């Protein structure tokens, strides 16, 4: 009976793949649009391992999570409620729209608003029968004056009206570092589309996911099938990316699952500092369920990404850490097989639990090494997120300065078009980067590039890396085994 139930659940999941609303929102092509710049999310390892909070993989110098606003920032106004709620009644439900205080991760109480509530069950590790489950109410809150990636589900014990506060609330305005650039992430949308997106994804339906030995806190809504929204967390098979609500389901699946690496061809393998690394190319037309599931995971950490279910037009490049058990996913990027524009990347994500290891820069460099083999310059799809922009600007600056330094030592003059042929970076991105570095001069009727030695040292200086940490270098071309994807009568052929 248990096996039949598991198969029925598998068939149901494969047949749906996601909510009907997400399919209606999909266009003719793209399975995903946008980038994560390494993906920004708070993560924590499961109790048997220690962890530190991270936010983004923006170049090798990561951005900290929360910073205080300037001293001149206005104070947060005290909460005012038009709604009635008797906090002395332990059975009373807090109404939607009610404003009160919630305990944040730094232990301070912050003003917040109730956006949604739901009845949830406590996940028992080996029970599928709902009859013995204990239920409780959880509330979805939005911290006032914070970016909505900080929104979360919490219990009544984490909430307090003003009369219940142990001490006066902290009314200092703090913002997530990305908040000031929040609207830039949505610059590709009209105001109507932005409002519709905000409303459709207002409440996170998944609190956290378990992937291998990591439990990762979700930041945003992702359109998992509706029946999974009753679980506080989802459990993933780290090899095939099937997901479950109960631990016993995952255990049963793990005994049957034969995959130990992503279902594609290995195109890259290298020995890095304290880790073995492999990259697999997965065809979205051949491995539809796997690619849809990785899109669902990515959407948990990317607010601006439009998730769609036509994965056939895309190739997925999955980066893994390799051990004796198998290949464990750390991040990925996707690209269109036949891009309508000069794009060499559609979406990029480093899982939060694998940030600060160099994977963000590795993924970007890999996308450009593929473009060099394809003999065409490329650029990531726009608009870029704030962290994505920081990551790409860092890569462009370092790569261009490295090439210019080498050519200057050889007394070779280069134009922007020459730089594009060597680096596979689009001329527009090259020009914007050189202007940002302030190295383009107009002299004697022509534009020339003059680079101070101090600028080269600043960008190319090797940083000290802790020998005990995992660290990944940018893509090494000699270790890459890749054939360009060209469609000829439905078949892939070599160029």
Contact 158/103 with Cβ under 8 angstroms? yes
Contact 297/218 with Cβ under 8 angstroms? no
DSSP 106: T
**C-alpha dist (Å) from residue 64 to 33, 354, 461:** 26, 15, 22
Q: What are phi and psi of 492, to 5 degrees?
A: -90, 130
Q: What are phi and psi of 301, to 5 degrees?
A: -120, 0
Contact 301/218 with Cβ under 8 angstroms? yes
Residue 113 designated active-site: no
CA distance 304 to 37: 12
Contact 259/240 with Cβ under 8 angstroms? yes
Q: Pick from 32, 31, 30, 38: which is nearest to 386 by CA?
A: 38
User: What are the percentages of helix, strand and coil residues in the chain, rounded to 5?
Assistant: 30, 25, 45
Strands 32-33 and 306-307: antiparallel
Rg (CA), the chain: 24
Contact 221/201 with Cβ under 8 angstroms? yes
Q: Pick from 223, 228, 211, 200: which is nearest to 12 by CA?
A: 228
Q: Which residues pair with 449 in a beta bridge?
A: 440
Interacting residues of 302 by C-beta distance below 8 A, sequence separation 6+: 34, 35, 36, 39, 220, 347, 349, 385
**Which of 215, 238, 336, 381 is labelled catalytic?**
381
Contact 368/344 with Cβ under 8 angstroms? yes
CA distance 42 to 66: 11
CA distance 150 to 360: 22
Contact 423/414 with Cβ under 8 angstroms? no
Active site positions, annotated: 381
């Amino acid at each position: 009976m248990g096996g039949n139930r598991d198969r029925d659940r598998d068939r149901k999941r494969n047949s749906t793949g996601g909510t009907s609303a997400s399919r209606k929102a999909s266009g003719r092509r793209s399975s995903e649009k946008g980038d994560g710049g390494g993906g920004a999310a708070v993560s924590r390892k499961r109790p048997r391992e220690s962890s530190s909070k991270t936010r983004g993989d923006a170049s090798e110098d990561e951005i900290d999570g929360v910073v205080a606003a300037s001293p001149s920032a206005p104070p947060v106004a005290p909460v005012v409620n038009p709604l009635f709620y008797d906090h002395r009644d332990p059975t009373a439900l807090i109404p939607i729209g009610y404003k009160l205080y919630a305990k944040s991760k730094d232990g301070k109480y912050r003003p917040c608003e109730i956006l949604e509530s739901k009845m949830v069950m406590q996940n028992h590790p080996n029970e599928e029968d709902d009859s013995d489950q204990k239920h409780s109410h959880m509330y979805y809150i939005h911290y006032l004056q914070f970016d909505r990636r900080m929104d979360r589900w919490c219990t009544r014990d984490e909430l307090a009206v003003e009369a219940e506060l142990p001490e006066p609330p902290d009314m200092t305005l703090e913002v997530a570092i990305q908040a000031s650039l929040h609207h830039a992430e949505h610059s590709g949308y009209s105001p109507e589309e932005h409002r519709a997106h905000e409303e459709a994804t207002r409440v996170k339906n998944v609190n956290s996911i378990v992937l291998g030995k990591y439990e990762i806190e979700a930041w945003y809504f992702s359109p998992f099938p509706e029946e999974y929204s009753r679980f506080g967390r989802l459990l993933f098979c780290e090899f095939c990316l099937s997901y479950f609500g109960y631990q016993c389901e995952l255990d049963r699946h793990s005994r049957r699952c034969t995959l130990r690496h992503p279902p594609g061809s290995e195109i890259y393998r290298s020995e890095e500092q304290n880790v073995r690394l492999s990259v697999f190319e997965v065809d979205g037309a051949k491995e539809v369920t796997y690619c849809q599931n990785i899109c669902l995971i990515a959407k948990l950490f990317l607010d601006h990404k439009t998730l769609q279910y036509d994965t056939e037009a895309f190739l997925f490049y999955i980066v893994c850490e390799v051990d004796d058990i198998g290949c464990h996913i750390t991040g990925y990027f996707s690209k269109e097989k036949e891009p309508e524009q000069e794009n060499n990347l559609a979406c990029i994500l480093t899982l939060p639990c694998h940030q600060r290891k160099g994977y963000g820069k590795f993924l970007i460099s890999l996308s450009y090494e593929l473009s060099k083999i394809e003999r065409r310059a490329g650029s990531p799809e726009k608009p870029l997120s704030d962290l994505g922009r920081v990551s790409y600007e860092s890569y462009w600056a370092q790569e261009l300065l490295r090439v210019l330094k080498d050519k200057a030592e050889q007394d070779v003059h280069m134009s922007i078009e020459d730089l594009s042929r060597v680096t596979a970076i689009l001329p527009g991105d090259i020009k914007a980067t050189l202007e940002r570095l302030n190295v383009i001069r107009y002299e004697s009727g022509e534009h020339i590039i003059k680079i101070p030695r101090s600028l080269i040292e600043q960008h190319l200086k090797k940083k000290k890396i802790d020998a005990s940490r995992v660290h990944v270098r940018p893509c090494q071309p000699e270790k890459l085994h890749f054939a360009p994807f060209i469609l000829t009568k439905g078949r892939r052929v070599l160029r």
